[in-house]
């Protein structure tokens, strides 16, 4: 197995290929954190989210020359387009300075249009040109390609729509019932332990009503400062709207003891979260590990819980704990990849050092897990058997650490802590695992996040300056992603009854350090009541298209009036050879998916999986599968899903 490249590259980077994004392009306006930064933040007046509506379509491509990638947005946006070879068998190092290692066959990053900071476009119909080359400048040639269009409005002021704090794992948006949960920072000597919670409701105007939230408390153990506490956010139980899970670190940063997970029940009368007496040991499950091991964060995925361990052992033994969600039983501990999680430092003489540390956050879905370490330089994806899928290490300036000397050479000023530039702290993935967004900690570049692609390649970096909102330096500890009215919080999706269709808060919810009550980075007196911080909405969306020979054509059809309801028409001709047309209608804007299956229920091809405005459309299937291969004669079924609508029809191919 290839070991990760832990050491940091301090050499002068070569000129980087357009599209991969390099450290030399950081905008100078974000290099430092001026003393008067609060004066640079404009008046916050917007409290209404403006979700990004993004659409694209498949692109025919012969494999030679350039291709135009079309897309439409409902507002100004910064755009990146990442292009992939589907199902590539290539493995091994790739990307700038071989920073990415692919351990398994998977979709392979070919190129990115937009560079580090993306390309700004106005609302409406747009195109970006792919020159047909890979990131090294070589012709990509014929192949089976897909592209992801990533759109973010970091050009206009963000909307103040909720509550947040600096605690890991916050804020929580429970789309099932409109709850917003976040911790409230404790007294100055509380460090990073959080004992109380703020419960708000989506739709509350906190400008007009800055105290329009309730203060809730944890069980007594989680209010303790010296002997334990939680640094992770609560995680609602997707199977029980009145139950929550929370990690308990069990001590201080050198000796933990008692680390584990609580299951808590909602007590509306007392405004507390109380132990569930019927779960584990009176609502608490202690991990069976030495007192040197902790339990920093918990992610819930289906019937399992996954916890992260900042290790105080010598040498450190960081890893991931797996638990049974239903019973609280500790199932296993995995530390196969300890070399990826260690806390890493480098001084100006190039001396490397490793300290206690380890995994601090984890995101989970059906495709695998994305664990990361506090102030580590490695970001990786592993499967559910803990086998490596990919890793992104030093060299491409995504989650890297550079020395203060190197920072000075790049013209970066400011209070570089231990020479750190941008170390990964937390991440969130979209519902279809196309991208991951990580949040940095202790960087010197203002407020920004990194976008990673399907195979771990750095796609772009999201810069948030003072004109967009109260995004002060290195304060983005957490980002929540909402897509089609479903919120992604490390694991399970929390979906509204209208999920599947575009929702009013679709986008990113980004934390700040700006007081909801005081509208500043407030210095609290010892006896002064604390309040949560502002949570800001950034319009954001990702849509996918195919590029290559024989792609499915989806076109809008002229209609005298808007349809009254969603519908799926009969294919024509039927039987057919070599292609057939399928009409469908949308009564309102929606995310629409049309898939083709064979008689055994196997997925043959996806004709469309994209956001579309209301209207009439026609999709053409050319009797090929998703790999571009012709299919055999027979009966096939095509299914349309859009919001709550679902319909299936049959079509016969005769050759």
**Residue-wise pLDDT tens digits, 585-633:** 999 888 899 999 999 999 999 999 888 889 999 999 999 888 778 999 9
Nearest to 42 by CA among 149, 156, 184: 156
| Domain-wise residue ranges, the chain | 52-152, 159-541, 553-653
What is the rounded CA–CA span in Å between residue 539 and residue 504? 10
Tokens of 392: 């992104």
DSSP lists the bridge partners of residue 426 as 439
Q: Please give the Cα distance from 390 to 371 (Å, whole number).
A: 11
Please give the span between the terminal C-alpha atoms of the chain, in angstroms, as a whole number: 48
Residue owning tokens 């249009």: 113
Per the CB < 8 A criterion, the answer to whether 272 and 227 are in contact is no
What average pLDDT is seen over the chain?
83
In angstroms, rounded to a whole number, what is the distance separating the alpha carbons of residues 366 and 381?
A: 12
CA dihedral 290, 294, 299, 300 (to 10 degrees): 40
By C-alpha distance, which of 353, 347, 356 is closest to 419?
A: 347
Q: Which two structure tokens, joined as six digits, stand for 478?
A: 């957490």
Helix (H, G, I), strand (E, B) or coil at 582: strand
| CATH no. of 553-653 | 2.60.40.1930
Picking from 260, 350, 264, the residue whose alpha carbon sits closest to that of residue 308 is 260
Entry pTM:
0.87
User: Which pLDDT belongs to residue 442?
Assistant: 57
Q: Which residue has the higher pLDDT, 447 or 460?
A: 460
Unique residue bearing structure tokens 């909307």: 159
* Interatomic CA distance for residues 481 and 432, integer angstroms: 12
Task: Name the architecture of domain 52-152.
Answer: Sandwich (2.60)
| pLDDT over 80 (residue 119) | yes
Q: What is the layout of strands, in order, in the sheet containing 553-557?
A: 553-557, 615-621, 580-586, 567-568
Q: What distance lies between CA 416 and its chain's CA centroid?
A: 26
* Residue scoring higher pLDDT (212 or 18): 212
Asked if residue 49 has pLDDT above 70, the reply is yes
DSSP, res 404:
H
Say yes or no to pLDDT of 364 above 90: yes
Output the six-digit token pair for 543: 């849509």
**Superfamily name with CATH number, domain 159-541:** TolB, C-terminal domain (2.120.10.30)
- In whole angstroms, what is the distance from residue 470 CA to residue 514 CA? 6
Judge if 52-152 and 159-541 fold alike in CATH terms.
Answer: no
Nearest to 595 by CA among 608, 584, 583, 586: 608
């Amino acid at each position: 197995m290839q070991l990760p490249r832990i050491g940091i590259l301090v050499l002068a980077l070569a000129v980087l290929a357009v599209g991969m994004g390099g450290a030399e392009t950081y905008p100078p306006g974000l290099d430092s954190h001026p003393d008067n930064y609060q004066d640079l933040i404009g008046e916050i007046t917007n409290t209404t989210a403006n979700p990004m509506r993004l659409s694209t379509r498949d692109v025919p491509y012969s494999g030679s020359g350039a291709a135009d990638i079309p897309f439409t947005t409902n507002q100004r946006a910064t755009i990146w387009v990442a292009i992939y070879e589907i199902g590539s068998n290539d493995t091994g190092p790739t990307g700038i300075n071989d920073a990415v290692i692919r351990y398994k066959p998977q979709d392979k990053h070919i190129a990115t249009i937009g560079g580090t900071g993306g390309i700004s476009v106005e609302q409406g119909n747009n195109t970006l040109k792919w020159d047909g080359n890979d990131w090294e400048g070589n012709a990509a040639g014929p192949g089976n390609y897909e592209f992801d269009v990533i759109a973010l409005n970091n050009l206009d002021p963000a909307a103040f729509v909720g509550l947040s704090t600096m605690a890991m794992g916050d804020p929580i948006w429970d789309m099932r019932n409109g709850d917003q949960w976040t911790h409230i920072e404790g007294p100055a000597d509380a460090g990073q332990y959080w004992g109380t919670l703020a419960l708000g409701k989506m739709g509350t105007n906190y400008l007009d009503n800055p105290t329009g939230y309730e203060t809730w408390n944890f069980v007594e153990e989680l209010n303790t400062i010296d002997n334990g506490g939680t640094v992770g956010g609560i995680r609602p139980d997707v199977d029980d709207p009145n139950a929550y899970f929370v990690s308990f670190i069990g001590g201080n940063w050198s000796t933990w003891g008692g680390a584990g997970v609580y299951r808590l029940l909602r007590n509306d009368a007392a405004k507390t979260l109380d132990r569930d007496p019927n779960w584990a040991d009176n609502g608490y499950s202690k991990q069976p590990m030495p007192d040197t091991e902790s339990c920093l964060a918990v992610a819930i995925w289906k019937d399992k819980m996954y916890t992260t361990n900042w290790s105080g052992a010598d040498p450190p033994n960081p890893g991931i704990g797996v638990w049974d969600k239903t019973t609280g039983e500790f199932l296993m501990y995995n530390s196969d990849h300890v070399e990826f999680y260690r806390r890493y430092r480098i001084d100006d003489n190039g001396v490397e050092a490793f300290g206690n540390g380890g995994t601090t956050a984890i995101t989970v879905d059906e495709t695998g897990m994305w664990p990361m370490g506090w102030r580590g330089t490695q970001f990786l994806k592993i499967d559910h058997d803990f086998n490596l899928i990919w890793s992104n290490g030093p060299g491409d300036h995504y989650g890297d650490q550079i020395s203060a000397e190197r920072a000075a050479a790049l013209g970066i000023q400011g209070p570089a802590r231990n020479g750190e530039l941008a170390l990964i702290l937390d991440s969130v993935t979209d519902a279809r695992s196309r991208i991951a967004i990580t949040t940095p900690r202790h960087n010197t570049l203002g407020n920004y996040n990194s976008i990673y692609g399907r195979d771990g390649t750095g796609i772009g970096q999201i810069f948030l300056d003072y004109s967009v909102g109260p995004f002060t330096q290195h304060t983005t500890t957490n980002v929540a992603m909402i897509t089609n009215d479903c919120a992604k919080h490390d694991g399970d999706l929390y979906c509204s009854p209208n999920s599947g269709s575009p929702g009013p808060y679709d986008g990113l919810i980004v934390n700040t350090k700006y007081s909801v009550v005081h509208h500043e980075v407030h210095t609290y007196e010892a006896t002064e009541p604390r309040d949560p911080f502002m949570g800001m909405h950034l319009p954001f969306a990702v849509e996918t298209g195919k590029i290559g020979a024989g792609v499915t054509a989806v076109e809008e059809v002229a209609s005298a009036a808007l349809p009254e309801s969603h519908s799926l028409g009969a294919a024509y001709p039927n039987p057919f050879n070599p292609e057939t047309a399928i009409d469908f209608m949308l009564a309102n804007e929606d995310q629409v998916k049309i898939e083709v299956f064979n008689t055994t229920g196997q997925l043959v091809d996806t004709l469309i999986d994209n956001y579309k405005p209301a209207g009439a459309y026609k999709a053409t299937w050319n009797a090929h599968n998703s790999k571009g291969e012709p299919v055999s004669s027979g009966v096939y079924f095509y299914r349309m899903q859009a919001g709550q609508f679902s319909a299936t029809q049959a079509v016969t191919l005769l050759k």
